[in-house]
Amino acid sequence: MKAHLENLNWRYATKHFDESKKISAEDLSDLKEAVRLTASSYGLQPYQVFIIEDPKVKEQLRAAAFNQPQLTEASQIFVFAAYTEVKEEYIKDYMQNVAVTRGIDVSNLDQFAEMIKGASMSLPKEQQANWMAKQTYIALGNLLNVAATLKIDSCPMEGFNVEKFNEILGLNNKGLTATVIAPVGYRSKEDATQHHIKVRKQHTDLFTTI
């Protein structure tokens, strides 16, 4: 546990990455698996994750993210995109996945499916979108933690033009919208932010035991 806490203290929101350093295929696979294994409401995972490596696409995204350098300097950019509304087909696909994975008949999951539909599809569209967007932040947290364990730098970011990201990545046609992004790679020696002492609330200001 001490090692994990040390890793969390080591990580910071990287402002400049070393463009010459790339994440290995093995480490990238571990990052993807960490995101894949992330908990989500009902296990539904109502989002997709786009991993951007193409330099031309990075340039476009940088322009849509107020010219922040991380977008082109990082080895990859993880773009988390939530579905904009809950559709019955998503739940049906999930039930099929459960049935195949656990070796059971999909009809045995009818009650579970109806429960999810009743709880989610009955919500106003705006609440549906908000609920699914929240799930992406859980996955983001897992990505940041595992990246720190691998000594891979990252920078969670909300500072981008959602509409332009959606257009560049063709998300609207997929019923998706970008919610949060995380460039990943290795810090530049020139990034002065890495030397800043981490600032967090004290335990007494953050936690209340009842």
Residue 105 in any domain: the answer is no
End-to-end CA distance of the chain: 25
> Nearest to residue 181, comparing CAs of 135, 127, 136, 129?
136
- Number of domains comprising the chain: 1
- pTM surpassing 0.85? yes
The rounded distance, in Å, linking the Cα atoms of 55 and 75 is 10
Residue 116 in any domain: the answer is no
The rounded distance, in Å, linking the Cα atoms of 184 and 80 is 13
Burial of 162 (0-12, 13-18, 19+ CB in 10 A): middle
Say which CATH number the domain at 156 has: 3.40.109.10
Residue 92 in any domain: the answer is no
Tens of each residue's pLDDT in the chain, 210 residues: 899 999 999 999 999 999 999 999 999 999 999 999 999 999 999 999 999 999 999 999 999 999 999 999 999 999 999 999 999 999 999 999 999 999 999 999 999 999 999 999 999 999 999 999 999 999 999 999 999 999 999 999 999 999 999 999 999 999 999 999 999 999 999 999 999 999 999 999 999 999
Residue numbers of the domain that contains 9: 2-86+123-206
Q: What's the pLDDT score for residue 160?
A: 98
DSSP string, 137-159: HHHHHHHHHHHHHTT-EE--B--
Q: What's the pLDDT score for residue 190?
A: 97
The rounded distance, in Å, linking the Cα atoms of 210 and 207 is 10
Q: What's the pLDDT score for residue 116?
A: 96
Q: What's the pLDDT score for residue 145?
A: 98
Whether residue 160 contacts residue 64, with contact meaning beta carbons closer than 8 Å, is answered with yes
